[in-house]
Amino acid sequence: IGWGEIAPLPWFGSETLEQALNFCHQLPTHITVSDIFSIPARLPACQFGFESALESVGSGEWGVGSGEMGEFLSSQNLKSISTAARSAIPNSNSKIAFSYLLPTGEAALESWQIGWNQGYRTFKWKMGVATFEEELKVFDRLVQLLPPSAKLRLDANGGLSIQEAERWLKISDDTGIIEFIEQPISPKEFNQMLKMSNQYSTPIALDESVATLSQLEECYDNGWRGIYVIKAAIAGSPKRLRQFCQTHDIDIVFSSVFETAIGRHAALQLAAKLSNRDRAVGFGINHWFTDDE
């Protein structure tokens, strides 16, 4: 038995849950390997889910046996899977470092200490939700509080104007603690982001611009050689993603879509093979869940 997760995020670029369900409902009782690799690119979350399930068949990685005689996933097994797959507190033996997602606004000024005490050294702060002046005040205090060895990522989710983005890039250049600014402006402003990436020393990472593998390939073909944030659960075919990343020298940061333990496990397997080891992956999100979620 193989397990995979279909976790659509339509506002970010994937199919809707309804479209994913409709696709699943029309599938035959027995699904072949050919069926799985024939899933169209317009259903990237389905591609990820089915291919992940195929790759886990017979592995016994979920503690449910292997092959057709494997047992169904019990609630106890699911609980142990969730504990293991969602564990993201880094330590000296971790193969992959995780970044810690901070809350917006002033709450970040206290939240970072919790992550730091748990071993996190990279932090991500969402911006573009308040006025520039309000966020700059919080930012100034945050960078003063963070230890010199910390790294800070800023994520605007494409919500800044070009003028605001340029101001933040200039501030980041002067600060020296910013690892990168993630998707400062709209994906529609690709050429402007390409221009800004050459004007400032602070790196820019594409996120919404590269939600799917097709978009990633397009941005690469159009000249982007900066950082790519990949949300594996909605990017599309893991097989094609591996092939692209292994044949192109790109700087990758894998990130979560708040998927469940099954999708998280599959995404982290990809991250372990393909991520830039000098960068933390965006899976430090456990503190946003309650214990029973």
DSSP 23-60: HHHTS-SS--HHHHTT--TT-HHHHHHHHHHHHHTTT-
Distance of alpha carbon 24 from alpha carbon 17, whole angstroms:
11
Please report which helix (H) or strand (E) contains residue 181, including its range. Answer: strand 178-182
Residue among 236, 233, 278, 235 nearest 253 (CA)? 278
| Whole-number percent of the chain with pLDDT over 90 | 73
Question: CA dist 91 to 67, 84, 95, Å?
Answer: 35, 15, 9
Tokens representing 118? 């748990």
> Is pLDDT at 220 greater than 80 in this prediction?
yes
| CB-CB contact of 257 with 235 (8 Å) | no
> Is pLDDT at 276 greater than 90 in this prediction?
no
Distance of alpha carbon 40 from alpha carbon 240, whole angstroms:
12
pLDDT digits (tens, 9 = 90+) for 85-110: 444 444 444 578 999 999 999 999 99
The residue count of the chain comes to 293
Distance of alpha carbon 180 from alpha carbon 169, whole angstroms:
9
Least confident of 40-49, 203-212, 251-260: 251-260
pLDDT band at 257 (very low <50, low <70, confident <90, very high): confident
Mean pLDDT of the residues in the chain: 87
| Residues annotated as catalytic (active site), given as ranges | 126, 231
Residue range 122-144: mean pLDDT, rounded: 96
Could you please report the per-residue DSSP string of 88-137? ----TT-SS-EEEEPPSGGGHHHHHHHHHHTT--EEEEE-SSS-HHHHHH
Q: Longest Cα pair distance anywhere in the chain, in angstroms?
A: 61
pLDDT band at 61 (very low <50, low <70, confident <90, very high): low
Distance of alpha carbon 276 from alpha carbon 250, whole angstroms:
9
From first CA to last CA, the distance across the chain in angstroms is: 24
pLDDT digits (tens, 9 = 90+) for 1-34: 789 999 999 988 899 999 999 999 999 988 999 9
Contacts of 12 (CB under 8 A, 6+ apart): 208, 211, 231, 234, 257
Domains observed in the chain:
10-80 (no CATH), 89-288 (3.20.20.120)
pLDDT digits (tens, 9 = 90+) for 224-249: 999 999 999 999 999 999 999 999 98
